[in-house]
Amino acid sequence: MNLPPEMREGEPPPILGRWRNMNAVVLAWLAILILLFYAFTRYFS
Amino acid sequence: MTPLDWFVMIATVIAIPSFGLWRGRGSKTVNQYLLAGKTMPWYAMGLSIMATQASAITFIATTGQAYVDGMRFVQFYFGLPIAMVILSATAVPIFHRSGVYTAYEYLEKRFDAKTRALAAVVFLIQRGMAVGLAIYAPAIVMSVIFGWPDRITTLLIGIACVIYTTTGGIPAVTWTDVLQMSIIFSGLILGLITVVSLMPHGVGFTDAVYLAGTVGKLNAVDLHFDPNNRYNLWSGLIGGSFLALGYFGCDQSQVQRYLTGKSVAQSRIGLLFNAMAKVPMQFFILFVGAMVFVFYLFIQPPVLFERAAMKKISSQPEYAAVQRSFDQAWQRRKAAAERVSAARKSDDETRMRASVEEYRAAEKDLDTARQNGAKLYEKTSGASGFNDTNYIFLSFVTRYFPAGIVGLVIAVIFTAAMSSSSGELNSLAAVSVMDLYRRHFRPQASDRHYLMISRIFTALWGAWAVVFAQYAKNLGSLVEAVNWVGSFFYPVLLGVFILAFFFTRVRGPAAFWAMLAGEASILACFFFTKIAFLWYNVIGTVIVVVFGALFSIRRGREDRISAII
């Protein structure tokens, strides 16, 4: 499997400096939501 | 509906196409018409992607689903943010820089013309049927709830969509989507506030949430792994990721949105915005449905929410017994729910446990009584698989919401139907013109000619959608078939795009045979196993990739494609 050049370069995001940081924020947000929903499920069941 | 409701609804439905016509007035070239001249900011793209996904039936059915089945459906969306992150780093830069109008155009650059044509035709068939259903679905609900003729409703939604989409192209579609999403969000927030405010005296917000949770209506996360269970954390994260990758990475109605971005970065941000907003939005819609359930703990609901079905069973001799058992079960459930609320305030643990048990048992009895009503309808009508989920929320809104809010909610449903249909119409026109007409019939015509043909195709697809919607009532089983077609083809398309992006040794013939192998594996799952459909997306995609790689294994390094175009 080879990563094409398009994926190795690219303009930076407007905030957080690097796309890696943006992606981490999105995935962390998902993890937080799942944890919150899980706590919500447990608490009210 | 009161005059105020009519005013709110008509004003909204007129304002949206007018706004679209105004925003799309500058489309003078085919690039502006199909790609907005690549000028769209990230927030417009992100909201447009959300609006295209959110069809009218999403709002009608999702709330009803929470009423019946709880909130576990939210897990279906857990894979979406993962897919967005992957696509923003892969598909967005590749499609942007290859300068394509459609996702399938890229397949020719990477493989061959017949792979592109095949993918384009598959998209047109699948999306062509879906666009008719997007218009038809809300119309049939309106006809049952209000008695509006469904043919007139489909015609009105269709004409409004076709006018602004044909005239303004993708800029009109995108900017109206932004307005439509604002209306949808406002409608949802007002809807939740209204539901909570309608709770009886003494039942606060936390009481309502507790009562919903006690009988499993707030089951948002299920950690138990079961491949035959449609919605759990694992099927959502893994199967949902593959489904979202297929939908957002291979379906032109979505790809076209992020091709309109000012830059790669703007398109990537648009997708990531969608990734962050979609899951909370679905949670919110489901939560509204759960609150409707709590409302009906204290106000008696009908046995069946579909009025025509109720009318049919009420003339049957068995109806009196069904209604009696339903009334008794509801009375028991109401009394038990009130005892639960009172016990919560008293902090008496023993009393609390006893009342919760009683409440859960009464809920089961009521559910059984409701199922008996459904069985009576099935016996009376000769139909099987009765399901009135789609009627629950609208039935509630029209009975109990105050004047003005009813009109707004109906406008939200019309708006959602228009936003998903207009995006689909524009993408159908783009594929018809760029992948078939220009590629195979008139490759050297002027830009003005392609712009005119794009408008003609948009209008033709709009006409097709309206005609299809007129007859969709007679095609009940086809509605289900269309959903299955989507599940059957997305994984194969996703697999071939993964081969195209990442496996540089794979050429056209290997990709073609791998697609067939993937399709065969999905059919085998469908016919010979009970695996839940979300897992088809994983299996089909993996088979295409593995077979594509295996079929190309003998190729030497010199056979590698030098770059991903």
| Contact between B502 and A1 using a beta-carbon 8 Å cutoff | yes
Selected residue with higher pLDDT from B348 and B429: B429
Distance (Å) of CA B498 to CA B479, B507, B514: 29, 13, 12
Which pLDDT score, from 0 to 100, does residue B477 have?
A: 47
- Smallest CA–CA separation between B78 and chain A, in Å? 7
Single pTM value for the model? 0.84
Q: Is B88 on the interface with A (CB under 8 A)?
A: yes
Phi and psi at B40, nearest 5°, equal -75, 135
Q: If we measure between CA atoms, which residue out of B401, B395, B393, B423 comes closest to residue B8?
A: B401
Q: Is B213's CB within 8 Å of A37's CB?
A: no
Q: How many CB atoms lie within 10 A of CB B86?
A: 17
Give residues with Cβ within 8 angstroms of B349, minimum separation 6.
Answer: none
Q: Is the pLDDT of residue B267 over 60?
A: yes
Q: What is the pLDDT of residues B185-203, one digit of tens each?
A: 887 888 888 888 888 887 8
- Would you call B276 exposed, middle or buried from its count of C-beta atoms within 10 A (0-12, 13-18, 19+)? middle
The Cα–Cα gap between B125 and B482 comes to 10
Instruction: Provide the phi-psi class of B72: left if phi over 0, else alpha when psi is between -120 and 50, else beta.
Output: alpha
pLDDT at B473 over 80: no
* pLDDT on residue B342: 85
Mean pLDDT along residues B221-245: 84
In three-state secondary structure terms, A4 is coil
**pLDDT tens-digit readout, B357-383:** 999 999 999 999 999 998 999 888 877
Cα of B331 to nearest chain A Cα, Å: 23
Residues of B with CB below 8 A from A22's CB?
Answer: 268-269, 272
Query: Residue A14 is nearest to which of B82, B209, B265, comparing CB atoms?
Result: B265
Average model confidence (pLDDT) across chain A: 82
Q: Report residue B341 as tokens.
A: 């609320």
Gyration radius (Cα) of chain B, Å: 25
pLDDT band at residue B164 using 50, 70 and 90 as cut-offs:
confident
Calculate mean pLDDT across residues B213-241: 85
Query: How many CA atoms within 13 Å lie on the side-chain side of B332?
Result: 19
B344 CB within 8 Å of a chain A CB: no
Amino acid making up residue B484: W
pLDDT band at A12 (very low <50, low <70, confident <90, very high): confident
For residue A6, the model assigns a pLDDT of 52
- Mind telling me how many Å the CA of A18 is from chain B's nearest CA? 11
Chain A residues within 8 Å of chain B (Cβ atoms): 1-7, 10-14, 19, 22-23, 26-27, 29-30, 33-34, 37-38, 40-41, 43-45
In angstroms, the separation between the Cα of residue A17 and the nearest Cα of chain B is 12
Structure tokens at B293: 């359930």
Whether residue A10 and residue B265 make contact (CB cut-off 8 A), yes or no, is yes
Whether residue B436 is predicted with pLDDT greater than 90 in this model: the reply is yes
Spatial separation of the C-alpha atoms in residues B272 and B84, rounded to whole Å: 6
Q: Report CB contact under 8 Å: B82, A27.
A: yes
Which chain B residues touch A41 with a CB distance below 8 Å? 213, 218-222
Q: How far apart are CA B102 and CA B118, in angstroms?
A: 13
With an 8 Å Cβ cutoff, are B84 and A26 in contact? Answer: yes
Residue B180 has pLDDT above 70, yes or no: yes
Nearest alpha carbon to residue B1 among B305, B400, B408, B403: B403
A10–B264: do the CB atoms touch at under 8 Å? yes
pLDDT class of B289 with cuts at 50, 70, 90: very high
Residue B526 in this model has a pLDDT that exceeds 90: no
Residue B28 pLDDT greater than 70, yes or no: yes
Provide the mean pLDDT of chain B: 85
CA angle A27, A32, A34 (to 5 degrees): 95
